[in-house]
Amino acid sequence: MSIRTKQNLEMELSKLKGFEKPSFMLEQYATPAHIAADWIWQMAMRGEVAGKIILDAASGPGILGIGLLLLGAKKVFFVDKDKTIMKTCMDNYNLIKEEFELGDAEFIIEDISLFDEQVDIVVQNPPFGTKEKHTDKMFLEKAFSVSHIVYSMHKYSTQKFVESISKDYKFTITDMWRYEFPIKAAFKFHTKPTKNIDVGLWRMEKL
């Protein structure tokens, strides 16, 4: 069995479990299946998935990394410091592996600052840095140190910050996609069932 269309990929990713009890301070919001599928498909069309070794930083339930494995990634490092969500990530991986032949996966429960492998590509939907300042900066700095191609999602309003830090680390922004990121109500202070956040997905490469 193999994935042949973006819609097929989205359907498989929509089966995965998300955050049951998301952490407010860790800003845990799962990447929606339709955004993850579009993101991964864009990478596949560039030849940046099949046979690649990829880091899924702040992997959460693993939707990005599992999607990449579904499209032929050689290996994915899933890194998240939350033990509970890593268990969900492993469950999701094992669920998909029942139906599909997947590449290697390594599940690492630690702060992203401790990751020291070199990889072909980094994908990340890190905390936006609104609860704990500069968290997004830390993730980008780590990504720039372990790969020459980085896909990173941030609030669109932080565009100038992303452009500035990319330049500082001698990375060039080659592409940017913009999405309405739906966040379902998960905390008491949420007043609406779903809130849309304006986000950007930046592709950065050290040329």
Binned average pLDDT, 10 residues per bin, the chain of 207 residues: 90 85 54 94 97 96 97 97 94 96 97 96 83 78 98 95 97 96 59 76 96
Strand duo 194-205 + 104-108: pairing: unpaired
The per-residue pLDDT for 192 is 54
81 neighbors 112 (Cβ within 8 angstroms): yes
For residue 122, the 8-state DSSP code is E
Task: Name the residue range of residue 60's domain.
Answer: 6-147
**In Å, how far are 84, 107, 108 from 90, measured between CA atoms?**
10, 7, 11
* Intra-chain end-to-end CA distance of the chain, in Å: 37
Domain membership flag for residue 13: yes
The per-residue pLDDT for 104 is 97
Domain membership flag for residue 180: no
Domain membership flag for residue 39: yes
The per-residue pLDDT for 207 is 83
The per-residue pLDDT for 193 is 55
The per-residue pLDDT for 19 is 56
Overall number of domains in the chain? 1
pLDDT per residue as tens digits for the range 33-58:
999 999 999 999 999 999 999 999 99
Domain membership flag for residue 191: no
**In Å, how far are 18, 78, 105 from 92, measured between CA atoms?**
9, 12, 12
Domain membership flag for residue 197: no
Domain membership flag for residue 190: no
The per-residue pLDDT for 58 is 93
The per-residue pLDDT for 26 is 46
pTM of the predicted model, to two decimals? 0.90
